[in-house]
Amino acid sequence: MSRLYLKIFALFCGTLLVVEAALFTAAHLLAREDESGRIERLARGQAGLMRELLSAAGPDPAALQHAVEVVGLAYDARLRLVNRESGLELARTRDNETFEELHRPLREVHPGVWIARTPGGFAGRINIDLESGPARLEIRIPERHGPIGGGFLLFAVGLGLAFALLMLPISRMLTNPLRRLRESALRIAAGELSHRVPLSGGDEVRELSEAMNEMAERVEAMVRELREMAANLSHALRTPLARLQLAFGLAEEARSDRERRLQLDRARSEIREMDELIGRILLLARIDAQQLTRQEAIELGPLLASIIESNRPLFAEQQIVLECALKEDAVVAGSGAELRLAFGAILENQARYAAPGSRARVRLDVKGDLIRLDFLNHCREHRSGDPEQWFEPFFRSPDSPGSGLGLALVRRVIENHGGTAAAKLEADLFELRVFLPALRPQVRMNPED
């Protein structure tokens, strides 16, 4: 973060230097333009006075010399008076410097008056008619000081230093929220998932802090779910593994082949239960990761009929009469394997929890763009609690069999197909209602595509 602080400080100082250089250049150009205007106005207004002073001196060379010196002192200029016809010098200001020749064109600003800017100041020429003949007054006016005074330069440098010193705490103030954001990110990355970034202000840094807090909440929820799933999974596998171990132990100690085969059949049953449990867990994980399977047109009537036939022995074992009303032409887009697992879990729960000798019903209907499925059965014992809890993974009522994944798998699969699943319990009547979007005939997909 210190490097960012230095970058901000260096950026400000660089910007300040550029601005000051631009201001200095603009002031320099304005000063030169102002000086040029002053000299031009001087030449226009004072040319007549110079002519009168020099003309009044008469032909006497000493008087002309005195007049030239007076005019030079008055205007802080070096002067030379030259005969226009012969080119002879008539008078000049008393100085030791050579009166340099002018090698650039002059600009006439008044009749008989010309001026031009030179590297060291200004040059001018005024035509004068003396008693001795026509003359030319050549003028050299040096700049009194630079285009910009030293005071202005010192003021600009001082102002820049003051702003630079002021920028030190400002740059730190700008980087402090980012420093706190970095510290919070490091704490979250180190495993402190409950930590949240302090919110302050109302700028983009606050929006970034809110986004990081939301990310931290999601990561914390995901990690918590993974830990709970790992704990629940170990608990769910512990019972069938213990029964499997017991079955193999009894098979080894069996005194007859019949008893040994019975224990091995029990072991195979436990293996199938664990395989089904692991399959459901993997399917839940795949759905949570949004790894959707290949979509195809599924006719729910034949699919449900096939699942019902596979589970009829379970209902017959409990002497449960299963009534079915399956409407044809109920087609949904999705995965046949996932839907088979979901509806199989529903029917398995009906056979497991329905009261022996009672009736269970399965209805399939199509209304407009929705497919409605109703699964009803009378419970073998009183069940209490919120039905929504039954859809949570690994949730099981006290003393209830199963892994607690059946209804959780059902809801995930149905929602994965764009539908909804809800449960309702009135007295001992349990009802599970499922809605799925119907696939219209004109948009149905060919399973072979």
Sign of the CA dihedral running 106, 107, 112, 118: negative
Q: Please name the residue that has the structure tokens 């970058």.
A: 7
pLDDT above 70 coverage of the chain, percent: 70
CA distance 304 to 339: 9
Give 396's contacts (C-beta < 8 A, 6+ positions apart). 402, 403, 404
User: What single letter denotes the amino acid at residue 42?
Assistant: L
**Per-residue model confidence as pLDDT tens digits over 156-174:** 677 777 777 777 777 677 7
User: What single letter denotes the amino acid at residue 208?
Assistant: L
**Per-residue model confidence as pLDDT tens digits over 168-211:** 777 677 777 777 888 888 888 888 888 888 887 667 778 888 88
pLDDT score at 293: 55
Mean pLDDT for all residues in the chain:
76
- Residues forming CATH 3.30.565.10 domain(s) in the chain: 293-443
Q: Report domain 2-150's class.
A: alpha beta
CA angle 241, 235, 251 (to 5 degrees): 15
Query: What is the rounded average pLDDT of the residues 38-53?
Result: 71
Comparison of pLDDT for 344 and 170, the residue scoring more? 344
Q: Kindly indicate the confidence band of residue 382, based on its pLDDT and cuts at 50, 70 and 90.
A: low
Q: What is the 3-state secondary structure (H, E, C) of 49-67?
A: HHHHHHHHCCCCHHHHHHH
Give 23's contacts (C-beta < 8 A, 6+ positions apart). 156
Nearest by Cα to 78 from 25, 21, 124: 124
Q: Find out whether 416 and 434 touch, Cβ atoms under 8 Å.
A: no
- Residues forming CATH 3.30.450 domain(s) in the chain: 2-150
User: What single letter denotes the amino acid at residue 118?
Assistant: T
Q: Find out whether 141 and 75 touch, Cβ atoms under 8 Å.
A: yes
CATH number for domain 193-291, candidates 1.20.950, 1.10.287, 2.40.360, 3.30.70: 1.10.287
Task: Say whether domain 293-443 belongs to CATH 3.30.565.10.
Answer: yes
Q: Which residues of 32-41 are buried (b: 16+ CB within 10 A; e: fewer)?
A: eeebeeebbe
Which H helix or E strand runs over 253? helix 204-253
Query: What is the rounded average pLDDT of the residues 5-22?
Result: 69
pLDDT score at 437: 92
pLDDT score at 305: 92
Q: Find out whether 357 and 413 touch, Cβ atoms under 8 Å.
A: no
**Per-residue model confidence as pLDDT tens digits over 306-331:** 999 888 888 888 888 988 998 888 89
Residue 235 has pLDDT above 80, yes or no: no
In order of 10, 151, 161, 165, 361, the CA distances from 13 in angstroms are 5, 22, 9, 10, 81
Q: Kindly indicate the confidence band of residue 292, based on its pLDDT and cuts at 50, 70 and 90.
A: low
Residue 356 has pLDDT above 80, yes or no: yes
Q: Find out whether 405 and 393 touch, Cβ atoms under 8 Å.
A: yes
DSSP string of 265-321?
HHHHHHHHHHHHHHHHHHHHHHHHTT-----EEEEHHHHHHHHHHHHHHHHHHTTPE
pLDDT above 90 coverage of the chain, percent: 6
pLDDT score at 374: 93
Query: What is the rounded average pLDDT of the residues 204-231?
Result: 79
pTM: 0.45
**Per-residue model confidence as pLDDT tens digits over 276-291:** 767 666 666 666 655 5
pLDDT score at 435: 94
- Residues forming CATH 1.10.287 domain(s) in the chain: 193-291
Give 132's contacts (C-beta < 8 A, 6+ positions apart). 59, 83, 90
Tell me the two tokens of residue 174: 């700008």
pLDDT score at 444: 45
Query: What is the rounded average pLDDT of the residues 344-370?
Result: 87
Q: Kindly indicate the confidence band of residue 391, based on its pLDDT and cuts at 50, 70 and 90.
A: low
Comparison of pLDDT for 17 and 375, the residue scoring more? 375
**Per-residue model confidence as pLDDT tens digits over 68-88:** 888 888 777 888 888 888 888
Q: Kindly indicate the confidence band of residue 405, based on its pLDDT and cuts at 50, 70 and 90.
A: low
Q: Kindly indicate the confidence band of residue 375, based on its pLDDT and cuts at 50, 70 and 90.
A: very high
